[in-house]
Every structure is written in structure tokens, then in C-alpha cells.
Amino acid sequence: MDGFQLLSRIGRGGTATVFLAAPLAGGPPVAVKILRHGTGIASCRREFAIASAVDAARTAVPIAHGVAAMGPYLVTAYLPDHVCGSVLMGETMSIAELWTFGGDLAETLASVHGSGVVHCDVKPSNLLVGDDDVRVIDFGISRYVGERTVNDSFVRCSRGWAAPEQLRGEPLAPSADVFAWGSMVAYLATGVHPFAGRYEADWILRVGSGEPNLSGLHQDLAAVVRAALAHDPRSRPSARELVAMCREATRPAPGPRPAPGPRPAPGPRPAPGPRPAPGRTAWPVEATEIAPPG
């Protein structure tokens, strides 16, 4: 494709394939997302515009977009020091790691929301996890705050992570991403999705009922996750509030106050001053007002 040499495939989703590529003009490698044929050029341009509105430190920076023989494409920075969030799904995290990951992800979502964007597709495969940060990628179905998710007769979302209002095709607020945050943290804590069912219909019914399964979660973490998974989006905390709760949970507890040391031994008493001469009175040295004689 023009300007880039595709090196290897590094990812594949339902609507696109991602390649590692080298710019022909030189420079560091990049990631090239090639959309499936049938995906409109306008959708590619829109994704580029939304991703460009997000803080560069919270995503893979968009570089270019265009159309090639393989289809519309989007070029972003390649982050070799980050791993796809999907690798986390098979790991067991400690409670401290869960609080840290939850705080890092919430901090990124708060930044995205501050840009007026609802990601709408927060899930493990759309995260890039580094040593001290979590970034979100793939703004293909993202919306500006208040836009609907309905396009004609279907709703675009990812099974397992969509909020109830997203399934209904209602206008989305940042609280939809908070719901996905809660589902992901619960899964990482237990290895079981909080709305898991045998069939897709079971998941839809359980999301609609608003009754997540949070058994196995640490009590304090379960309280935060339950709030994030509230059925009513108005009852969920903001991403910024989630950051505060997660950081507070990882703040070291104050240590015990040191025991008081031994009291110093009394020193020698000062020698008494000279006694006044007999027949005279020693007055304190103090200013005194004296009334004049009448």
C-alpha cells in the first residue's frame, strides 16, 4: 500500500485486520488497520477524527488514513512496550493489582470522556496495557456524547461488555463505558463474567435485569464494581470518581504513632538569688500606675 510496507499481521477483529508496517520514508514501525470491504470511507474518516480528539497519552496516536486496494485503512503509532489487554483475561490478579489496573483504566476513560467522546467498545482486545498506564484503541463505533448507537435497524456493540442502554439503542453518556469497566474488573477478579450465561440470550436477559454475579470479589472491590454496574446509568459513578476510589484503596495505611520516649532527667535547680536587705520589701519588677495625691 502507498507509503507503507506491510510486515506481519498482529491482530484481527470482526471488521478489520491490523498489520505491523514500516514507513517507506523511514521512521519507526506503525500499526495499519485495514477495514473490511464494505466499510465506508466515511466511517474510516470519522474514526480518525474521533481518535485525534483524544489525548495522545491515552491511545495509539492516529497518523494517517486513506483508501488502498485492500480497503480503507487507518495508520496509528505502534507501541511495542504495551500488550493487548486480551492477555490479561487468562491471568489471576491480586487485589492490589486489580485496584491499580482499575485506576489506570478509569483514568484513561476519564480523559476520553473529557474530550467529549464515549468509546462504546471498552473490552480487553481494545486495550493496550503498559507498565504504568492503560490505553484504549479502536474508536470504530465510538460516539460523541449524546449520539445514538442505532444505525437503521441494528445496534453496534460487543457482546459481553455493552451497557443495557446501549443494547436498547439509546443515546450514550460516559456511564456506558463505566459499565464496561465494571464488567471487565469483575471478570479479571474472578475469571467469570458477571452476567455470564450459557447462551447469548442469557447474557442479554441478565444485563437487562441488572443483577450481576459478584461472588468471589473482595468486599470493598465488589462495592465499587456493583456501583459501576448499576442498571440506571445515572446511578453509576463517573470515571473520575472511580479513579479516586481505586487510588484511595491502594494508598498505604498510616503507620502506628511512635511510642513516647523517656522523659529527660530533671537538671540541677538554679541557685537562689540574693535575699533582700532586712527592713525593705522586694517588689516585683512591673509597671504600676500610681494615683497622684489628692
**Where in the chain are the domains?**
4-77, 83-250
Other C-beta atoms lying within 10 Å of the C-beta of residue 77: 14
Give residue-wise pLDDT tens across range 223-242: 999 999 999 999 999 999 99
DSSP letter assigned to residue 121 = -
Residues making up the chain, counted from first to last:
294
- Long-range pairs for 170-175 at CB < 8 Å and ≥24 separation? 171/146, 171/147, 172/118, 172/120, 172/143, 172/145, 172/146, 172/147, 172/148, 173/118, 173/145, 173/146, 173/233, 174/109, 174/113, 174/118, 174/145, 174/238, 174/239, 175/233, 175/234, 175/236, 175/238
The CATH fold assigned to 83-250 is Transferase(Phosphotransferase); domain 1 (1.10.510)
- CATH of the domain spanning 4-77: 3.30.200.20
Checking if the pLDDT of 282 tops 50, the result is no
Phi, psi of 54 (to 5 degrees): -90, 145
Checking if the pLDDT of 46 tops 90, the result is yes
Q: Do the annotations mark residue 123 as ligand-binding?
A: no
CA distance 1 to 75: 12
Mean pLDDT across the chain: 85
What pLDDT is stored for residue 53 in this prediction? 96
- Cβ atoms 227, 235 nearer than 8 A: yes
Number of H helices, E strands in the chain: 7, 12
Beta bridge partners of 77: 30
Give residue-wise pLDDT tens across range 77-118: 999 999 999 988 878 789 999 999 999 999 999 999 999 999
- What is the arithmetic mean of pLDDT over 3-30? 93
- Cβ atoms 122, 166 nearer than 8 A: no
Identical fold, 4-77 and 83-250:
no
Checking if the pLDDT of 261 tops 70, the result is no
Give residue-wise pLDDT tens across range 127-158: 999 999 999 999 999 999 877 654 544 556 67
